[in-house]
Amino acid sequence: MGQKEEPRRVAGKRRDGRPGPARPAFFEGAATQDPEVVATLLDTFVRSWAGTTPDEFDAQVHEWVTTIKQPKLGVPYVELVYQPMLELFDYLKAHEFRVFVCSGGGRDFMRAFAEKTWGIPKEHVIGSAAEYTYADGRIVRSDQMLGGLDLGPGKPEHIFAQTGRLPAFAGGNADVRHRDAGLRRVRSARQSRRRGARVRPHQGRREVPGHGRAAGLDGREHEERLGHRVQDRRRGMTDLTAIDILVNPDDATIRHAQRCNERMRESVPSGFALDATHQPHITTLQRFVRTADLEAVYAAVERTLAATDIAALSYDAVALRHGDWGVPGQGLAVIVVQPSAQVLDFQAALLASVTPFTASGGTAAAFVTDPGEQISQSTIDWVDGYVPTQIGAGHYIAHITVGFATLEDLERIEAEPFDAFPVHPASVAIYHLGNSGAARSELKAWPLAPATS
């Protein structure tokens, strides 16, 4: 479209069938994913962000998706996620499928929010993308597209290029199905039949205009069949359990933690005591998992343990520090421990094994509570954001929580000398979490052989 060329306009229709205002054909093409129009848009986007690093690009996307709101509904676009599609993701993961998102849109734009919004790892997002170049020790976006456009026949091409496989199942929205014909038809020589599905939005029993014109599924009937599994975002999910996959330390470390806890309770007597229902521990991974899948989670952790060199898991306690947990004038104190490289490998393996059974959007109902106790929003946010903020070297802060104290007392206590000591794992366990990340109720445990010198 030239700079001085007036774009061709087409007449739209209102929902009641009356003629609507004319719209530029260019934007009609964008809405229907016309390859030429999408290619023009993506080429413009590629050139606009040339020279930026992945972190810089992610930051700009994050700012946009958290501040720009959908005009009619008044909420950020990342909150407008079609729940039946998330349910489909969860169903496929629970049956040991690897789930990928493949779109004609910008791959890196989607990757910026895919993990938190869809529960899909960045590396499982496929789409049209910019090339990257390495210069002066940095990876930066170039001004060229990487390969062809991820539309029509481009979709199976991109999928195979990234995964080395063709899909066993493909599902998506129906309004651009003619653009995905190649994806629906392609299959490997070993597949007698490839499965596919389309999701068609409805309002009650009336089809939303412009969606699912050929055939599909009535939205209300679909949600009735899903029953309690359909999430109302205002209520949150109530069929989830907040779990902590943790390491129980040796007796010497527990005694040290209990002594620290006694000092914290001298400062804040109403704080929790380390006891049978507030177990001293080192968190390895916290997640919201589907309650119905707990047995599968136990089996996944057991398989991971069987493949791990347990003797190589080691820690060193190095300091006492505190964090802000949303309580005015108080801090949550922890003993900071340094994990070995093998501990980080173990964490990564655990994450991979339990991810098929996880979900986001947990509420206070997912935690253990005492009568009248309120789960803090800080606790819910910590579990929901544990991945990716606490995963891997440079992010994972291994620690043993020892209680609340006033900020004044913590300043004095933290200024005292700290004698470092080794921490030996005694067992690995899964606990049902309570407030402030406390390990409240043991769900499953695996004793470890004591370390030998």
pLDDT tens by residue, 362-421: 999 999 998 889 999 989 999 999 999 999 999 999 999 999 999 999 999 999 999 999
Helix/strand/coil for 173: strand
pLDDT for 168: 74
Q: How far is CA 2 from CA 7, 281, 359, 363, 409, in A?
A: 9, 64, 47, 52, 68
Q: Which CATH architecture has domain 24-199?
A: 3-Layer(aba) Sandwich (3.40)
Helix/strand/coil for 277: coil
Q: How far is CA 264 from CA 97, 248, 407, 423, in A?
A: 47, 21, 11, 21
pLDDT for 235: 34
DSSP 252-267: HHHHHHHHHHHHHHHH
Helix/strand/coil for 31: helix
pLDDT for 185: 55
**Can you read off the two tokens belonging to residue 235?**
């209520």
Residue with tokens 């309690």, as numbered in its chain:
228
The pTM of the full predicted model, rounded to 2 decimals, is 0.49
Residue with tokens 């769900």, as numbered in its chain:
443
Strands 19-24 and 421-423: unpaired
Per the DSSP assignment, residues forming a β-bridge with 400 are: 335
Give the residue from 146, 413, 436 showing the smallest Cα distance to 283.
Answer: 436
Chain-centre distance of CA 413, in angstroms?
36
Q: Which CATH architecture has domain 240-447?
A: Alpha-Beta Complex (3.90)
Give the residue from 85, 43, 83, 77 showing the smallest Cα distance to 61.
Answer: 77
DSSP 312-347: G--EEEEEEEEE--S-TTEEEEEEEEEEPHHHHHHH
pLDDT for 136: 80
Give the residue from 227, 345, 364, 378 showing the smallest Cα distance to 288.
Answer: 364
CB distance 396 to 283 below 8 Å: no
Q: If the chain, 453 residues long, is cut into consecutive pieces of 10 residues, what is the mean pLDDT of each piece? A: 36 44 47 61 67 79 76 75 75 76 78 79 81 80 72 72 76 53 51 53 42 40 40 49 96 95 95 84 96 94 94 95 86 95 96 94 91 90 93 94 94 95 96 89 88 47
CA gap 439, 187 in Å, rounded: 47
pLDDT for 199: 52
Give the residue from 117, 106, 101, 123 showing the smallest Cα distance to 65.
Answer: 117
Domain definitions of the chain by residue range? 24-199, 240-447
pLDDT for 231: 38
φ, ψ for residue 8, nearest 5 deg = -65, 140
Helices 251-267 and 407-414 pack at an angle, to 10 degrees, of 140
CA gap 130, 126 in Å, rounded: 12
Give the residue from 435, 359, 379 showing the smallest Cα distance to 116.
Answer: 359
Cβ neighbours of 126 (radius 10 Å): 20
Q: How far is CA 406 from CA 279, 349, 352, 377, 378, in A?
A: 22, 38, 38, 20, 18
